[in-house]
Structure 1
């Protein structure tokens, strides 16, 4: 299809039409306002003089601008479009849709076309000119509708941006340590349109390369943080666990323990620590959401890695003179023996080796550790350090790097040495 010539249909309109239209503008405005108030319920406000005045102002501006554009097709629609952008912003600010504005524009356009058609018969206007008038009227109506929609979208985006900023500030306040005052949380929650729940759970997310997930509106989210974070209200409520799992599907996500609102900082701290251990391979990452409460013993074990390293140096000293491969075999056997109630046959089944091999290794361990294996307190210490050693067995050189914020933002290097 060939493109329309520049300036059409305005350039096809006789300039003198504007002179015929001007004397009738007030009368046409009255007809349009009456019809709009009759057909569009939102504009029927008999007791609201300011609203009626705004409606009259809008109708008169539209009519005068249309006539002036007929008189001069080069007349730019900037002023009138700005006016309708302001109308769109106003509707958004009042929490209304653009349905009423668009309905009013359709009614106004219908009345304008009716009056123009009547005037065309009086002036003996030909079909080609009358068609150009109708096309110009429709294009003009489209321009104003687009301007109103643009203003509406701008206002909605501004409101959404401000609401998002409030919710991010609320997230900061909930994660504050020491906790913020309940009154401060309540005030900001009200401004952010977030009903304060009885309990919450914090979520630490791994950074995603793909499109970020969408969350239900009652979940506070800030994906711009160093560790992207969420707050889930009432996480233990009916159906909440399934809802959260669906929202976080395909995302590396760790949910902290459920706590009162005032203790949200504790929940995010545990979620971040768990996430750090997942990233290091200490806690296995499966296909689902990871919950800190299912890994509390591991979290306790790695709460102070300097301390666990020192205890390992002390309790595993008898293995220190052996080759690394020997250390690994004997440490694995000793842990299995402690976990199985010191039953050699069960150790053999756990390790998938012959019972005779297990007994040989146990004799070696008895020679190395002596009476230490008879002391329940020392056996408890050994199981602690051997569990930690087993969790870290796949890390090269047994060197642990603290994962930044996920553990404490210290950047320290902690070593868990072979004994």
Structure 2
């Protein structure tokens, strides 16, 4: 409300603290009067030469914290205190007893300095309570995210998920993104993505968070929410950041998020190992590789049995492996593989012949070529020859 245009008519006599509080509450659009507890008495004491001690400041900070807990807007609390100050002014003992302009000026300076100090203390208590509430909420959210994506305490997940707009009885998909730098809660890239999601039509049912350096989005498998998020994510992160995105398969129920999360994370891992083209990798498109990696011991035996002889050649095994990968990726066309590798066709042919001479497997024989292809994929997935 505009100062100088009070809603109540001028008082005909001194106002009691209760009268001041009630009028100030009306001026401040109904902010509770108990948030002024002791304030009018404080102003009365200041007007007669009293002071504002440390105990009173602590009292104001406690009141500020109480206002924050009640979700009273800070601007409303400030309005309440300012209204109480000007409403109480004509009734303050020092003002009533003052003789002359100089005396009124000194009292005014003291009263309004005390009002400034009191309101500042209220604001400090308010802000401290909000920071504590925010830290507590962040702790609750982090705990929920970890339980959701680690599969812990599934019996409590559904109820806690509603707090974040998720209905885990439905079907959800988890999308993860990895970049050159790890994603962290509150980091610049994370905040940009959160801002974009907040502006989308499905924002209420989408949870954006981080986990193990990955940006994670839990989105409903309905209404194009996943496609919308992936598109917005690519627009936000940009094309040149080295980003890769993994998309899990739709899963239902409290335990579905952890399954979809693992699928999305594994899709990222496979795409990086296999050096797959593109930025977005769907777990549903990589099922054949999941079959390969499921029996890791058997896959390792295949890789060792077929490719281990490559270590005996003059050409580094990594070079021969890269040539095989490019050859199979190019549809077994040597010319296309040479273009991809930026080498001559004769060099590709020479290397393929060296592979046959060392391993006994020829890329030109359908069955042997298939065995070589699977072994090459397995080598990529297992990190052979570097860290098997």
Give TM-score, length-normalised by structure 2. 0.70
Q: Which one of 346, 369, 375 corresponds to residue 385 of structure 1?
A: 375
Q: Which stretch shifts more, 91-100 or 241-250?
A: 241-250
Deviations 1:163-218 (A, max 9, x none): 2222222213322448824xx2221123x343326423143655359944312565
Cα deviation digits, residues 89-144 of structure 1 (max 9, x gap):
23322223123322222221112223359x75x74623222111111121121122
In the TM superposition, what is the alpha-carbon distance from 1:319 to its structure 2 partner? 4.3
Equivalent residues in 2 for 1:213-232 (5 A)? 213-214=190-191, 215-216=194-195, 220=207, 223=210, 226-227=212-213, 230-232=216-218
Structure 1 residue 382 displacement after superposition: 0.4
Q: Look up the SS of the partner of 1:175 in the other structure.
A: helix
1:329 and 1:33 map into 2 onto residues whose CA distance is: 83
CA distance in 2, matches of 1:338, 1:252: 25
Matches within 5 A, 1:5-404: 27-43=15-31, 54=34, 58=36, 61-71=38-48, 73=50, 76-79=53-56, 81-116=57-92, 120=95, 123=97, 125-177=99-151, 180-181=154-155, 184-190=156-162, 192-196=163-167, 198=170, 199-203=172-176, 207=182, 211-212=187-188, 213-214=190-191, 215-216=194-195, 220=207, 223=210, 226-227=212-213, 230-234=216-220, 236-237=224-225, 239-245=228-234, 254-262=245-253, 263-273=256-266, 282=273, 291=281, 293=283, 296=286, 300=290, 306-316=297-307, 319=310, 321-325=312-316, 338=328, 342-343=332-333, 376-387=366-377, 389=379, 398-400=385-387
**Displacement, 1:383?**
0.9
Give the direction of change, closer, same or farther, for the CA distance of 1:252–1:303 in structure 2 (3 Å limit). farther
Following the alignment from structure 2 to structure 1, what is the Cα–Cα distance between the partners of residues 18 and 358? 105
State the Cα deviation string for residues 256-294 of structure 1 (Å, max 9, x = none): 41423532112322344455567xx636599x9654549
Gap regions ≥5 residues in structure 2: 1-12, 199-203
Instruction: Name the residue aligned to 1:4.
Output: none
Aligned partners of 1:124 and 1:333: how far apart in 2? 98
- Do the aligned residues in 2 keep the contact of 1:174 with 1:261 (CA within 8 Å)? no
Cα separation, 2, equivalents of 1:341 and 1:290: 22
Distance 2:166 2:360 in 1: 62
Distance 1:30 1:178 in 2: 54
The alignment's C-alpha RMSD in Å is 4.4
Structure 1 stretches of at least 4 aligned residues deviating more than 6 Å after TM superposition: none
* Deviation by residue 1:12-48 (Cα, 9 ceiling, x = unmatched): xxxxxxxxxxxxx9734254235325433315xxxxx
Contact 2:61–2:125 (CA under 8 A) maintained in structure 1: yes
Larger radius of gyration: 1
Q: 1:333 to 1:126 in 2, by over 3 A?
A: closer
TM-score, with normalisation over the residues of structure 1?
A: 0.66
Which 10-residue stretch deviates more, 88-97 or 332-341?
Answer: 332-341
Inter-partner Cα distance in structure 2 for 1:289 and 1:360: 33
Q: Is the 8 A contact 1:338 1:379 kept in 2?
A: no
Q: Residues of 2 paired with 1:322 and 1:276: CA distance?
A: 30
